[in-house]
A and B are shown apart, each in its own frame.
Chain A
Amino acid sequence: MSAPVTADPDLVPPAEREGVRELHRQLDRVWRDGPGLRGWLMSVDHKSLGKRYVITAFVFFLLGGLEAAMMRAQLSRPENGLIGPDLYNQLFTMHGTTMMFLFAVPVMSAMGLYLVPLMIGSRDVAFPRLNAYGYYVYLIGGLFLYVSFFLNVGPDAGWFAYTPLSGPAFGVGKRVDVWAQTITFTEIAGLISAVELITTIFKQRAPGMSLNRMPLFVWSILVMAFMILFAMPWVAVDSQFLAMDRLIGTHFFNQAEGGDALLWQHIFWFFGHPEVYIIFIPALGYVSTVIATFTRREIFGYPAMILSLVATGFLGFGLWVHHMFATNIPQMGESFFTAASAMIAIPTGVQFFCWIATIWGGRPRFATPFLFILGFFAVFIIGGLSGVMIASVPFDLQVHDTFFIVAHLHYVLLGGAVFPLFSAFYYWFPKFTGRVLSERLGRWNFALFFIGVNLTFFPMHLLGLHGMPRRIYTYLEGTGWGSLNLLASIGAVTIFVSVVIFLVNVARTLRNGELAGDDPWGSSSTLEWATTSPPPAYNFAHLPVVQGRYPLWSRPLDPPVVTGLRTDQRELLITTLLDAVPDHRHRTPDPTIWPLLAALATGVTFIALIFTPWAAVIGGVLVAGPLIAWGWGKPKPGDPVVTEGIK
């Protein structure tokens, strides 16, 4: 019997039901992870790894948040003796490093790695074993940073580790080396995720999902991935230059031997500014997705939205010098980068007006995901406006290295990334787990988070204008900064309570939350909602065929699907780049332990490199073993083998 077209046993005539059930059983046998801990460690499933990635990144968010809470406790009153200067230096460095390198970028990639294959109607990412390797490298890097911190070797030169403070002359001990090597770990993981996502998006879209029908979220992940690809090597090389200055006596940043401290800043910010957009652009994808669902309307100006995303991606590379206005760069350069910094507000503005136009004509449903989007509007716009202020050189020189900058960057990053991320958690949590988060707790979560963020960070604008520098562990009573600092610390407590409510919500929902069904929102438009919650190991029994930009809204009663992929081994359908026309079938790997072992070997190598350059040689040999075993897999029954005689 040929396989029935629909994959839902309830929708086929009774005589064909057993055939459909057998199809599900067969696909499950082929695609599910193996049993027990071994199966878990060998998993190459994008959902399994994506969830681990999101949870790990969120744990780092909590750790970074606790570090912030400790700093706010210390600053809550003048001349506080809670935390000394040395620990304080480590805390603000760990906080920034954690939030930027271990939370924000990884969590955005992770959401993409989980959602993109579902949203484009595929069964896994392009290189599943590489995906596993990337995750483990990231995990090892994060653990390495925190173990070092608890051993009192936590980095202490700030998250952007300016030379010469971080160089061998001032950054004694191994603290800065730990920072530099953590960067290497996270950049490798980031680059891997970027290649994964670009290839998956370009080549694995369901038939019919041409580029001009691709969901805006997938567009945003695509732009993010390209930015990662061209931005992250900069910081990876920069941190290696720093590590070499410290370990083997190179002079990249040593002014006395012709090096240049500003070279560090240029290279760092050539990565560092795009980094902000790497975090922000996926968030724009969440916003578009959630707005479409909760207003039940197509997003106004789809082409303008995409052009804005791409324009932001390009312009994001042309702003880095505005982080360096207080250095001796030429005035012409300052003027250029002021203009560029102001210009990037244009594509962002276009997107805001498109969203407003979408909401304007709709009847929005004010559920928790939508509330967080409204919070994003308010908080991010304040951050954007203070950004336009500090794009101006004279103003920037006044507030440089003050709490005004701290206020600005937190409004931008919390508003631009964390509010949309919470929205995304509430929106996709039913897909991840099969249960819907409590709406009542969600509203408390939102309200307290919104109040907390403004209470914490708005006073920092004023503190900065009053001259309070950032990165000081205490201040004198006579400065008059005490009351505003206390207010900010109360705000931090509010954020803390809000996040605890979120965790309670998650715990309660996982235990006995309302069951989600395929699509609990009832108005979603993208393909991940066309399968069960959580999705089966194989994502879709039959891959969907797409006939419109919002596939679930234009879906006929008997939706067309793809048949003919093998069910006895893991196979993906590869389609053409522009029009997503079926092109070939691709055998994708089974579970394997080698990516984990290769990541462990990589970890040992990088950590040993802090102590001796010879680790590069020994580590190279160490990593080669698992890599060969990884590549040299035995063909499974049914895989074609080429023998001598074939030409």
Chain B
Amino acid sequence: MSERESLRVAGETGSIDVSGLPSTVFGHRALTWWGTLGYMAAEGTTLIVCAVAYLYLQRNFATWPPRGTPLPSLSAATIQVVLMTASIPVMIWTARASRRFDLGRIRLGMVLSSVFALAFCVLRWFELQSLHTRWDTNAYGSAVWAILFAHATLLVVQFFEGATLAAMLFLGPVEPKHFADVDDSCLYWYFMTGAWFVLYLLVFISPRVWG
């Protein structure tokens, strides 16, 4: 019988001693995982609202993008998609290392994550240029800038969090909870990149298909 099962059985009849339970766990067992999930839910909803605005405002225009505004260029955004796809195996590798308490590998993983996140932020600047419109040109411009900016906040947060965590891992002192933090950071990474794949289809591909 596992320790958890024996504690469950003991609790139905009398007092229980939990001193033997671990203090560092990963994934859905940990509180911070749930906190990260909550943050993702709120941020995800924010992105959905931006997407809803984009789709709703589309109804007010005969063509989309509006006449006189070229289609958004694909190069920067596509490079972004490729780079994000390439980053995912690295983050999976980092997450696995964190669950094995492998300090050397998660240090490397978090440095790579910071470099990736910085590259995403730089690419976002070029993506904004590739929209060929400004936020104050018309409602189309407002909607696409809002989507890219809302998602950029995720990139900036991830860069900031990843770089801080990397610095903590090098400068120390390193506590076991930091391994779980790295694991959660990877979870957030999957959300951040996954969200961009959807938004890329919406902003850069859908006007080519239905515009």
**Hey, which bits of chain A sit against chain B, CB under 8 A?**
5, 126-127, 130, 191, 194-195, 198-199, 202-203, 207-208, 229-230, 232-234, 236-238, 241, 244-245, 248-252, 254, 257-260, 263, 266-267, 542, 545, 547, 560-565, 571, 573-574, 576-577, 579, 581-587, 620, 624, 628, 631-632, 634-635, 639-644, 646-647
| A191-B30 Cα distance, complex, nearest whole Å | 20
Closest 10 CB pairs of A and B: A564-B19, A195-B38, A258-B139, A249-B136, A250-B142, A233-B45, A199-B34, A237-B49, A564-B17, A581-B8
| A596-B36 Cα distance, complex, nearest whole Å | 21
B41 at the interface (CB under 8 A from A): yes
15 CB-based A-B contacts, threshold 8 Å: A195-B34, A208-B12, A233-B43, A251-B141, A252-B57, A252-B142, A260-B57, A267-B49, A576-B29, A581-B4, A582-B21, A584-B24, A585-B18, A642-B175, A647-B101
| A620-B142 Cα distance, complex, nearest whole Å | 22
Known: A258-B140, A560-B16. A646 touches B175 (CB 8 A): no
User: Which residue of B31, B45, B56, B141 has the most chain A CB atoms within 10 A of its CB atom?
Assistant: B31
Q: Is the CB of A584 within 8 A of B38?
A: no
A-chain residues with CB within 8 Å of residue B175 when the two chains form the complex: 635, 639-642
A-chain residues with CB within 8 Å of residue B140 when the two chains form the complex: 258
Q: Is the CB of A582 within 8 A of B15?
A: no
Within 8 A of A (CB), among B1-41: 4-5, 7-8, 11-25, 28-31, 34-35, 38-39, 41
| A279-B45 Cα distance, complex, nearest whole Å | 20
| A573-B29 Cα distance, complex, nearest whole Å | 12
A-chain residues with CB within 8 Å of residue B20 when the two chains form the complex: 564
Would you give the shortest CB distance from B80 to chain A, in whole angstroms? 22
| A259-B14 Cα distance, complex, nearest whole Å | 65
Q: Is the CB of A647 within 8 A of B34?
A: no
| A582-B3 Cα distance, complex, nearest whole Å | 9
B-chain residues with CB within 8 Å of residue A267 when the two chains form the complex: 49, 52-53
Q: Is the CB of B60 within 8 A of A233?
A: no
Select from chain B the residue with minimum beta-carbon distance to A188: B42
Question: Contact partner of A632 among B21, B101, B145, B164, CB < 8 A?
Answer: B164
| A585-B16 Cα distance, complex, nearest whole Å | 14
B-chain residues with CB within 8 Å of residue A563 when the two chains form the complex: 15-19
Would you give the shortest CB distance from A420 to chain B, in whole angstroms? 26
B103 at the interface (CB under 8 A from A): yes
Question: Contact partner of A252 among B5, B24, B53, B172, CB < 8 A?
Answer: B53
A-chain residues with CB within 8 Å of residue B137 when the two chains form the complex: 257
B-chain residues with CB within 8 Å of residue A249 when the two chains form the complex: 135-136
B-chain residues with CB within 8 Å of residue A632 when the two chains form the complex: 164, 168
A-chain residues with CB within 8 Å of residue B25 when the two chains form the complex: 574, 583-584
Q: Is the CB of A195 within 8 A of B14?
A: no
A-chain residues with CB within 8 Å of residue B30 when the two chains form the complex: 574, 586
| A539-B23 Cα distance, complex, nearest whole Å | 21
Q: Is the CB of A647 within 8 A of B168?
A: no
Question: Contact partner of B4 among A545, A562, A582, CB < 8 A?
Answer: A582
Q: Is the CB of A641 within 8 A of B174?
A: yes
User: Which residue of A266, A547, A564 has the most chain B CB atoms within 10 A of its CB atom?
Assistant: A564
Known: A191-B42, A229-B41, A632-B168. A646 touches B103 (CB 8 A): yes
Would you give the shortest CB distance from B86 to chain A, in whole angstroms? 27
Within 8 A of A (CB), among B43-69: 43, 45-46, 49-50, 52-53, 56-57, 60-61, 66
Would you give the shortest CB distance from B185 to chain A, in whole angstroms? 12
| A191-B38 Cα distance, complex, nearest whole Å | 9
User: Which residue of A245, A249, A586, A644 has the most chain B CB atoms within 10 A of its CB atom?
Assistant: A586
Known: A195-B39, A199-B31, A250-B135. A260 touches B56 (CB 8 A): yes
Q: Is the CB of A244 within 8 A of B142?
A: yes
B-chain residues with CB within 8 Å of residue A584 when the two chains form the complex: 21-25, 29
Select from chain A the residue with minimum beta-carbon distance to B97: A647
User: Which residue of A5, A620, A647 has the most chain B CB atoms within 10 A of its CB atom?
Assistant: A647
Would you give the shortest CB distance from B16 to chain A, in whole angstroms? 6
A-chain residues with CB within 8 Å of residue B23 when the two chains form the complex: 571, 584-587, 640
A-chain residues with CB within 8 Å of residue B14 when the two chains form the complex: 545, 560
B100 at the interface (CB under 8 A from A): yes
Q: Is the CB of A198 within 8 A of B8?
A: no
Would you give the shortest CB distance from A75 to chain B, in whole angstroms? 37
B176 at the interface (CB under 8 A from A): yes
Within 8 A of A (CB), among B76-97: none
Question: Contact partner of B31 among A203, A236, A545, CB < 8 A?
Answer: A203
Select from chain B the residue with minimum beta-carbon distance to A642: B174
Q: Is the CB of B160 within 8 A of A207?
A: no
Select from chain B the residue with minimum beta-carbon distance to A236: B46
Known: A263-B57, A581-B8, A585-B23. A573 touches B142 (CB 8 A): no
A-chain residues with CB within 8 Å of residue B8 when the two chains form the complex: 207, 579, 581-582
Known: A207-B11, A208-B11, A258-B57. A194 touches B38 (CB 8 A): yes
Within 8 A of A (CB), among B154-178: 156, 160, 164, 168, 172-178
What is the 8 Å Cβ interface bit string for chain B, positions 114-140, against chain A (1 contact, 0 not)?
A: 000000000000000000000111111
B143 at the interface (CB under 8 A from A): yes
Q: Is the CB of B38 within 8 A of A562?
A: no
Would you give the shortest CB distance from B139 to chain A, in whole angstroms? 4
| A545-B156 Cα distance, complex, nearest whole Å | 44
| A344-B142 Cα distance, complex, nearest whole Å | 36
Q: Is the CB of A233 within 8 A of B66?
A: no
B146 at the interface (CB under 8 A from A): yes
Would you give the shortest CB distance from A573 to chain B, in whole angstroms? 6
| A194-B37 Cα distance, complex, nearest whole Å | 12
| A40-B5 Cα distance, complex, nearest whole Å | 41
Known: A562-B16, A573-B18. A202 touches B34 (CB 8 A): yes
A-chain residues with CB within 8 Å of residue B12 when the two chains form the complex: 208, 547
Would you give the shortest CB distance from B59 to chain A, in whole angstroms? 8
A-chain residues with CB within 8 Å of residue B156 when the two chains form the complex: 620
Q: Is the CB of B57 within 8 A of A127?
A: no
Select from chain B the residue with minimum beta-carbon distance to A572: B31
Q: Is the CB of B4 within 8 A of A257?
A: no
| A245-B141 Cα distance, complex, nearest whole Å | 12
Question: Contact partner of B138 among A233, A241, A251, A547, CB < 8 A?
Answer: A251
Q: Is the CB of A234 within 8 A of B49?
A: yes
Select from chain A the residue with minimum beta-carbon distance to B17: A564
Q: Is the CB of B142 within 8 A of A634?
A: no
Q: Is the CB of A647 within 8 A of B103?
A: yes
Q: Is the CB of B135 within 8 A of A230?
A: no
Question: Contact partner of A582 among B7, B50, B101, B178, CB < 8 A?
Answer: B7
Select from chain B the residue with minimum beta-carbon distance to A238: B49
Would you give the shortest CB distance from B206 to chain A, in whole angstroms? 17
A-chain residues with CB within 8 Å of residue B178 when the two chains form the complex: 642
Select from chain A the residue with minimum beta-carbon distance to B58: A258
Q: Is the CB of A587 within 8 A of B177?
A: yes
Known: A563-B17, A564-B19. A545 touches B142 (CB 8 A): no
